Amino acid sequence: MTLDRITPRRTRVGLVSGGLGAYWPQFPSLLPQLEASARRVASRLSEMDCEVVDAGFVSDAAEGAAAAEKLRVAGCDLIIGFLTTYLTSSMLAPVAQRSGAPVLLLNLQPTEAMDHEAFDTGAWLAYCGACPLPEMANSFRRLGVEFRSVSGYLEDERAWTRISRWIKAAGVRAALRHGRHGLLGHLYPGMMDVSTDPTLVSAQLGGHVEILEIDDLRVRVEKVSDDETAARVALAREVFTVDESVVDEDFAWGARVSVALDRLVSDFALDSLAYYHRGLDGETHERVGAGFILGASLLTARGIPAVGEYELRTSLAMLVMDRLGAGGSFTELQALNFRDTVVEMGHDGPAHLGISARKPLLRGLGVYHGKRGWGVSVEFDVKHGPVTLCGLGQRRDGTFTLIASEGTVVPGPLLRIGNTTSRVDFGCDPGEWTDAWSASGIAHHWALGTGHRVAELTAVADLLGLELTVVNP
């Protein structure tokens, strides 16, 4: 019995390479060399866990238009134009205009430097991809096309690291544009900061927000069999260390709700889920609302972020971090430790099990602070080392922004109250960091993921057309 991660939609990258056809009769050995470079680029791209749609090598504007049509039909998430030598902007303009996808231009010369003593004009032209880059930048801006580029040489790993960031960012953009995001229940009363207009999500990020009711889950809970419940309990015992505080009845109920959550996600084809339901006096809806945590944590670990308190924007931030390979766990401030100069943060409820420093603990709780209900909750600390916070803020005019901060999770004493908890060192006074973080426009929840990811989030923000605020006091 295993916890299988979902297989996300593969990022589709369109590639077109080109050079000026007037050179080919003048320098017969040039085109074969450039085509070999184009094959090398295609090969490197195919190693980056993406689907490459290669439109071939273009030599004039007519061939460029044909490549543009092929890539438009392919529905690419990112278009890469490889400038092998000089080519006119008219050759790539239709590619940039028609695809509807972001465009990245590559200027990768064959080696680190030319052999100046041995080179003639034909040999130099293979190193001339930098020449058309300013022309492309100027032309694209005048055409209303956003411009971005990576310059280097074919085996330049620094350049390929930057290219990889753009491909990851394109995958995040695609996950949001194609995503289906569940919003179940109602807003936690009084939390004005987390309230989000679903239409703004579709307008600014793409995708669809599916409005769900607690009864959509209740009817599925009622159909879960005892055998299915027992199988989910067995899976949970493999995934978690089960604390002695866990009551068997609560454990079984959380497992039953977990099976129903999987069906809900499957039936509505959801990529993320934000939920909250208050309930009253132990009736069925309150019990369903209190039984989310086990199933939501298992969903999050599989790559389907599921968060409490109706936090739609944080479920999207967690999706961003998950697709970057950073995990992404539901997080808020807990306390400041001025003695150890760390900020303590975490949350009760769903957590991303993939970034736990140890086997996560399933703890029984008699009460969820600030919420109605009882049952089982997940407790762990995030892997020690570099981490990044990522949140989706919202301005007064409704515009979304990305907000991030890099720090380091360090060891030390932690709360044992059924929460994820981390001690994060931001390299400065914890009070000053907290003031700067709060002033950024962040809501009181965000995603915490492993690794330093600001460079990747910079690319994500660019492709999404969002402002990125990096807090680093």
Question: Could you tell me which residue, 416 or 122, shows the higher pLDDT?
Answer: 122
Instruction: Count structural domains, the chain.
Output: 2
pLDDT in tens, 286-331: 899 889 999 999 999 999 999 999 999 999 999 999 999 999 999 9
In a domain, 464, yes or no: yes
Q: What pLDDT is stored for residue 369 in this prediction? A: 54
Q: What pLDDT is stored for residue 374 in this prediction? A: 65
417 has a pLDDT exceeding 80:
no
In a domain, 121, yes or no: yes
Contact between residue 60 and residue 21 where contact means Cβ atoms under 8 Å apart: yes
Query: Which of residues 153, 176, 199 is at a domain's end?
Result: 176
In a domain, 4, yes or no: no
Q: What pLDDT is stored for residue 367 in this prediction? A: 59
Q: What pLDDT is stored for residue 161 in this prediction? A: 97
pLDDT in tens, 36-68: 999 999 999 999 989 999 999 999 999 999 999
Q: What pLDDT is stored for residue 368 in this prediction? A: 57
Range of the domain at 36: 11-176
pLDDT in tens, 130-150: 999 999 999 999 999 998 999
pLDDT in tens, 250-298: 999 999 999 999 999 999 999 999 999 988 888 899 899 889 999 999 9
In a domain, 160, yes or no: yes
pLDDT in tens, 18-32: 999 999 999 999 999
Q: What pLDDT is stored for residue 135 in this prediction? A: 97
In a domain, 1, yes or no: no
Residues 251 and 317 in one domain: yes
440 has a pLDDT exceeding 90:
yes
In a domain, 2, yes or no: no
Question: Could you tell me which residue, 210 or 368, shows the higher pLDDT?
Answer: 210
In a domain, 341, yes or no: yes
